[in-house]
């Protein structure tokens, strides 16, 4: 099998985790290659995601590093052995690799937390909202590309109502919910959709008020699979989203999200009786924004 020309994020992450194992074991790439019964250039190709590594070799490297958790080792083996195929595969020739990488990360996540200062998080968007966002987008796209991007975004949302949905905790800035997008009905239906999604036991939605102590900041999503150490932070950027996966970054963004959630209004609870609701909560703010749109 030839070397991959354009490895996916998952494939690159597998190689990166192996390199981290090797470095923690105090082995040079030449020494590790000898330990694994392969040539150094082959190991270098593995570490940049251009090819995979057999499970027994992963086990051998983990033993050299002293990894005691078989759960962690197996999770790493699974990361490298996944086919990478899923519902997103049909978009491979239409959308960028960033779209596909995010969908694959979401598919493997046990939990997700996200903060969005300017838009409703993609996984929570309605079709009409997604269409309005792409029509007025800063990045030019063909009509075919726009239609595919909208279908893709709506399909991502189906994950939350699937058989094994991840938990999702979203903090959305009030500014993201106060725009009309030129069509009041679009935002009205989107706000109602958020309230309905909040009924799901695994979905938590909070609103960060404009008069709160925290400014806008940058949007991000932290995706955590079965093994916490293999989590990924995707930081939104106009040109290209930033993927962070080192221990320090994961810890920093977990702390940052905890701060955001602590400063946001109490979570949307559509089933709470009026007398039990806090004087000021996310649901009340959503309803206040929603009222002029009805």
Q: Provide the pLDDT for residue 116.
A: 96
Q: Is the pLDDT of residue 274 over 70?
A: no
- Give the global pTM: 0.93
Query: What H or E segment, with its residue span, contains residue 167?
Result: strand 167-173
Q: How far apart are CA 243 and CA 247, in angstroms?
A: 13
**Residue-wise pLDDT tens digits, 178-188:** 988 878 899 99
Residue 28: pLDDT over 70: yes
How many Å apart are CA 230 and CA 67, to the nearest integer? 14
What was the pLDDT predicted at 139? 66
For 163-188, letters b (16+ CB in 10 Å) and e give eebbbbbbbbbbebbeeebeeeebbb
74, 75, 81, 87 alpha-carbon torsion, rounded to 10°: 150
Share of the chain above pLDDT 90, in %: 80
- 8 vs 200: CA distance, rounded Å: 32
What pLDDT is recorded for position 276?
A: 53
Q: Which positions ≥6 away from 217 have C-beta within 8 Å?
A: 115, 117, 260
Lowest mean pLDDT: which of 8-12, 45-49, 87-91, 141-145? 141-145
Residue 247 confidence (pLDDT) above 80? yes
Would the pLDDT of 138 be above 70? Answer: no
> Any idea how long the chain is?
294
pLDDT at 135: 84
Q: Which of 37-51, 87-101, 102-116, 137-151 has the lowest mean pLDDT?
A: 137-151
Buried b (16+ CB within 10 A) or exposed e, 135-157: eeeeeeeeeeebebbbbbbbebb
Domains and CATH numbers, the chain: 9-81 (1.10.260.40), 87-293 (3.30.870)
Q: Output the average pLDDT for the chain.
A: 92
Q: How far apart are CA 284 and CA 289, in angstroms?
A: 9
CA distance 73 to 192: 43
Check pLDDT > 70 for residue 71.
Answer: yes
Whether residue 214 is predicted with pLDDT greater than 90 in this model: the reply is no
For residue 8, give Cα distances in angstroms to 5, 127, 276.
10, 27, 48
Q: Give residue 273's pLDDT.
A: 65
């Amino acid at each position: 099998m030839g070397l991959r020309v354009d490895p996916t994020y998952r494939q690159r992450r597998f190689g990166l985790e192996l390199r981290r194992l090797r470095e923690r074991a105090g082995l040079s790439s030449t020494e590790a290659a000898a330990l694994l019964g392969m040539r150094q250039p082959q190991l270098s190709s593995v570490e940049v995601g251009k090819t995979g590594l057999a499970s027994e070799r992963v086990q051998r490297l983990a033993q050299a590093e002293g990894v005691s958790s078989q759960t962690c080792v197996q999770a790493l083996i699974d990361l490298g052995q996944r086919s990478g195929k899923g519902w997103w595969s049909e978009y491979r020739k239409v959308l960028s690799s960033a779209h596909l990488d995010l969908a694959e990360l979401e598919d493997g996540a046990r939990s997700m937390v996200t903060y969005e200062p300017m838009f409703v998080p993609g996984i929570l968007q309605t079709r009409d909202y997604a269409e309005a966002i792409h029509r007025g987008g800063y990045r030019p796209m063909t009509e075919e590309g726009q239609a595919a991007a909208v279908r893709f975004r709506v399909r991502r949302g189906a994950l939350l109502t699937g058989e094994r949905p991840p938990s999702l905790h979203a903090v959305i800035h009030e500014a993201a919910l106060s725009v009309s997008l030129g069509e009041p009905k679009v935002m009205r239906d989107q706000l109602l959709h958020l309230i309905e999604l909040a009924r799901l036991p695994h979905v938590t939605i909070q609103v960060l008020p404009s008069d709160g102590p925290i400014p806008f900041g940058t949007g991000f999503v932290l995706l955590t699979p079965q093994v916490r150490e293999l989590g990924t932070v995707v930081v939104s950027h106009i040109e290209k989203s930033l993927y962070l996966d080192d221990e320090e970054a994961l810890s920093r963004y977990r702390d940052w999200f905890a701060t955001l959630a602590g400063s946001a209004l109490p979570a949307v609870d559509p089933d709470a009786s009026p007398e039990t609701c806090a004087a000021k909560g996310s649901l009340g703010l959503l309803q206040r924004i929603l009222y002029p749109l009805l």
